[in-house]
Amino acid sequence: MDSAEFHAAVYEKVRLIPPGKVTSYGHIAKLIGMPNHSRHVGQGADVNPPLPWQRVIGSSGTISDRGPGTNGAQRQREELEAEGVEVTVGRTGEFRVDLRVYGWFPNSVDDVQPDDHPNSGDEE
């Protein structure tokens, strides 16, 4: 698979993420059949069109910080909250989403159905 195909595959998955939900880079990588390319998923972020990357965060529910001076993470937080996603802020200023509530991790995009509730019966 070429890098172009890779990015295209990532694009298809990311655009399927429903509003009010978030997933992780690793899961996107798994969906496209490359579970070890988690880092490349994010790496292609700047070469892809304006995808809803705000819904793609780390496996721990943390939003990556692009470094000081960048308001990207802050913007993502606002975008997510606008969609109804509760974003918390740690003492070190990191943004965090509760994956137990807002996580979107279907076994495959083929498993995603309009009438389905992939997150039903959660909580623990």
Partner DNA sequence: TCCGTGACGATAC
Partner DNA sequence: CGTATCGCCACGG
The contact pattern for DNA, residues 2-31, with x = CB under 7 A and - = no contact, is: -x--------------------xxxx----
Task: Out of 60, 71, 107, 108, point to the residue binding DNA (CB under 7 A).
Answer: 60
DSSP-derived secondary structure for 60-101: TSBPPP--TT--HHHHHHHHHHHTT--EEE-TT--EEE-HHH
Task: Out of 53, 95, 102, 104, point to the residue binding DNA (CB under 7 A).
Answer: 53
CA atoms within 13 A on the CB side of 68: 1
By CB under 7 A, which span of 14-22, 91-99, 100-108, 113-121 interacts with DNA? 91-99
Residue 115 CB, nearest approach to DNA (Å): 28
Sequence-distant (≥ 6) Cβ neighbours of residue 50 within 8 angstroms:
none
Residue 73 CB, nearest approach to DNA (Å): 7
